[in-house]
Amino acid sequence: MNEAELSGSQQIGAAFKARRKALKVSPTRAAQAAAISRVTLHRVERGDTSVNVGAYLRVADALGLALNSTLAGGDQSNGSPTDREAALPWLIPIDQYPQLKLIAWSLPDLQEIDPPLALGLYERNWRYVDQAAMTPQEQDLVNRLVKEHGNGCVFV
């Protein structure tokens, strides 16, 4: 079956699977990031229409994608562009953020961490973070973590 013969949900699922593979992320890791089961992720990647739209949205968010007509094979020429450049990376390199590096001392084997873990580290260790020493990039990272994974609230 070629792409033209796939239903919209199958095209979306195929786009999700291709993105996950391009990122070299395992199904288990992607499912964890999307807060769904691995079985549900596989159903989403197949384009199963019995899966609720919330699961599709969580997978899109976890993979740094936005659901729009382009993914479903539609014409984007009349649509507004999505701002995915401001999206958080799939993994955050600890060494690029000095204060994060200091509070991630308990994770010596990790060079990169996922955004929810980074937000948790900041929240649990905020009293040790020297805000005056934060680079603008790290301040931006914290703001985006709070916005995207903390629902606009930080627990410090």
Note the CATH number of domain 7-62.
1.10.260.40
Are 14 and 21 spatial neighbours (Cβ–Cβ below 8 Å)? no
| 3-state SS, residue 131 | helix
What are the extents of the domains in the chain?
7-62, 92-149
Are 23 and 90 spatial neighbours (Cβ–Cβ below 8 Å)? yes
Model confidence over 3-26: pLDDT tens digits? 556 677 888 888 889 888 888 889
* Calpha distance 7→102 (Å, rounded): 48
Model confidence over 33-90: pLDDT tens digits? 889 999 999 999 999 989 998 888 888 888 877 665 443 344 444 443 444 445 777 8
